[in-house]
Copies of this chain bind each other. A is one copy, B any other.
Amino acid sequence: MTLLIHSVPGPVARWAEAARAALPEMEVRTADDAGNADEVDYVLVARAAPGELARFAGLRFIATPLAGVDGLLGDPELPDVPLVRCAAPGGAPMITEFAVLHVLRHHRQMPEFAAAQARREWIRPAQKTASERRVGFLGLGNIAGPPAAQLAAMGFRVAAWTRRARQVPGIESFHGKDGLAPFLRRSEILVNLLALTQATTGIIAADTLALLPEGAAFINLGRGQHVVDADLIAALDSGRLAAATLDVFRTEPLPADDALWRHPRITITPHAARVIRPEDVIPQLAENIRRDRAGAPLLQAVDRSAGY
Binding site for B on A (CB under 8 A): 93-94, 97-98, 100-101, 104-105, 107-110, 113-114, 116-117, 120-124, 126-127, 129-130, 150, 154-155, 252-254, 256, 261-262, 267-270, 272, 275
Contacts and interface: CB of A to CB of B under 8 A. Distances in A.
The quantity of this chain's copies bound in the complex is: 2
Contact of A104 (B101, B127, B129, B155): B101
9 contacts: A93-B129, A97-B107, A101-B110, A105-B110, A117-B267, A117-B268, A122-B253, A122-B270, A127-B272
A261 B120 contact: yes
B94 A270 contact: no
A74 B33 CA distance: 74
A109 B94 CA distance: 13
A98 B127 CA distance: 12
Contacts of A123: 270
Closest 6 CB pairs of A and B: A122-B253, A101-B104, A120-B261, A117-B268, A120-B256, A127-B275
A252 B124 CA distance: 12
B101 A105 contact: yes
Nearest to A101: B104
A142 B55 CA distance: 63
Q: Which of A100, A110, A114, A254 has the most CB of B within 10 A?
A: A110
A262 B116 CA distance: 11
Nearest to A100: B104
Contacts of A101: 101, 104-105, 108, 110
Contacts of A120: 256, 261-262
Given A267-B114, A270-B123, A97 B256 contact: no
Given A120-B256, A261-B120, A262-B120, A97 B270 contact: no
B261 A113 contact: no
Contacts of A108: 97-98, 101, 272
A155 B93 contact: yes
A71 B279 CA distance: 51
Contacts of A270: 113, 116, 122-124
A127 B256 contact: no
